[in-house]
Structure 1
Amino acid sequence: MSALSPALSIVATPASTGTPARLAATARRFAAHPRTWRPFVRFTRPDRWYRRLELTADYEVWLLTWLPGQGTEIHDHGGSSGAFTVVDGTLAERAFPAPGRRGAVPARPLDIGGLRSFGPRYIHEVRNEGTLPAVSIHVYGPALSSQSFYRRDADGVLTLDRTEPVAH
């Protein structure tokens, strides 16, 4: 049963182990049931808007909204695996190598239905580089407890900037 909204539990994967594949399946199920997230969509400036939709012992589900130009810093998920899918608009995701290494994958567009899943050491940034608002569903297992943020030095090396607890 969900700690936040019992009605949403029918959509989520019971007793998920937090593998990227199971988290992706949960994201797809939530995306396929707009009644579980559409009523909560809001857009704010200057920052993205987000709301946790469900919390279980194994995972949590978040709704995020993105106006054009909004995005994340380069970050990880504090040891949690995850998945996210776009339900409106288009987002761009760029993955990065481990700290101390150079490089980045070119930004990959994610249109409606586009999905990314990842393991616990994944580092990326996500942005709305388009001209229309975007909405996405994110699932993390276990629930986020911290996130680390990174910066690219002048020579392109990824360096840890800070680690912060995740406020629920």
Structure 2
Amino acid sequence: MPIDTRTTVREFSLPGDLVPMAPSGLHTLTARTGPSVAWLARQASQIAARPQDWWHLVEFTRDRRWYRLLRREPESEVWLLSWLPGQRTGLHDHGGAFGVFALAVGALTERSFDQHADRRGGRLRELTVRTDQVRVFGPHHVHDLGNESAAPAVSVHVYSPALTEMRRYEWTGEDLIRTGVERVGVDW
């Protein structure tokens, strides 16, 4: 399976890039209704930068990844996640939601799928997101996120609209195959 390694991007151009923790210049990206991607990125970076507001909530559990809904509004929601070394999500999407995540502590490795519209062909690419960076992605983004470092990590995720489902996938080496659907209120 070919993996393309990409380094940190200092400027934001389109969903799927890294932006610095205090994103500026994102106001021009308005390819959707609801909160702008710039607003989502600001929310994630501002919350991640204030661990004194949420650190008392964080748990690190070995048997599964820990997560907590911090806030749900009509057009967005904010999640706090902890990651012990070796914990991963598996390939999934966010049910059509735009998303961003900011690293408050540590680093996470993302394997995202660059794909054709029919989800055939394409390749996996790898990107490491570190403390003080924000990852922005669009509604068709499929990725696997995990902690490949030796230290715990904590991340803040903001989605718009609020998540209703996440679809699970498997990469065959040629195609991306949907293997299941997890629904809010049922599976998490």
Q: Could you say whether these structures have the same fold, taking a TM-score greater than 0.5 normalized by the shorter chain as the test?
A: yes
* Worse overlay, 95-104 or 129-138: 95-104
Deviation at residue 19 of structure 1 after TM alignment? 3.2
* Worse overlay, 115-124 or 33-42: 33-42
Instruction: Please give the secondary structure, in 1, of the residue aligned with 2:39.
Output: helix
CA contact (8 A) 1:19 1:119 kept: no
TM-score, with length taken from structure 1? 0.84
- 2:27 equivalent in structure 1: none
Q: Tell me, yes or no, if structure 1 residue 159 matches structure 2 residue 184.
A: no
Q: Deviations over 1:16-40 (max 9, x none)?
A: 9233222111101111222332111
Equivalents in 1 of 2:71, 2:97: separation in Å? 16
Q: Deviations over 1:42-71 (max 9, x none)?
A: 100221100001111111000000000001
Deviation at residue 139 of structure 1 after TM alignment? 0.4
Q: What is the root-mean-square deviation of aligned Cα atoms in Å? A: 1.5
Percent same amino acid at aligned positions? 40
2:184 alignment partner AA: V
Deviation at residue 101 of structure 1 after TM alignment? 2.1
Equivalents in 1 of 2:168, 2:36: separation in Å? 23
TM-score, with length taken from structure 2? 0.76
Deviation at residue 160 of structure 1 after TM alignment? 1.0
Q: Tell me, yes or no, if structure 1 residue 80 matches structure 2 residue 97.
A: yes
Number of residue equivalences: 151
Q: Which of 112, 125, 129 pairs up with 1:110?
A: 129
Instruction: Please give the secondary structure, in 1, of the residue aligned with 2:44.
Output: helix
Unpaired runs of at least 5, structure 2: 1-32
Deviation at residue 103 of structure 1 after TM alignment? 0.9
Q: Which of 32, 41, 44 pairs up with 1:24?
A: 41
Runs of 4+ more than 3 Å apart: none
Instruction: Please give the secondary structure, in 2, of the residue aligned with 1:104.
Output: strand
* Worse overlay, 33-42 or 65-74: 33-42
Q: Tell me, yes or no, if structure 1 residue 54 matches structure 2 residue 65.
A: no
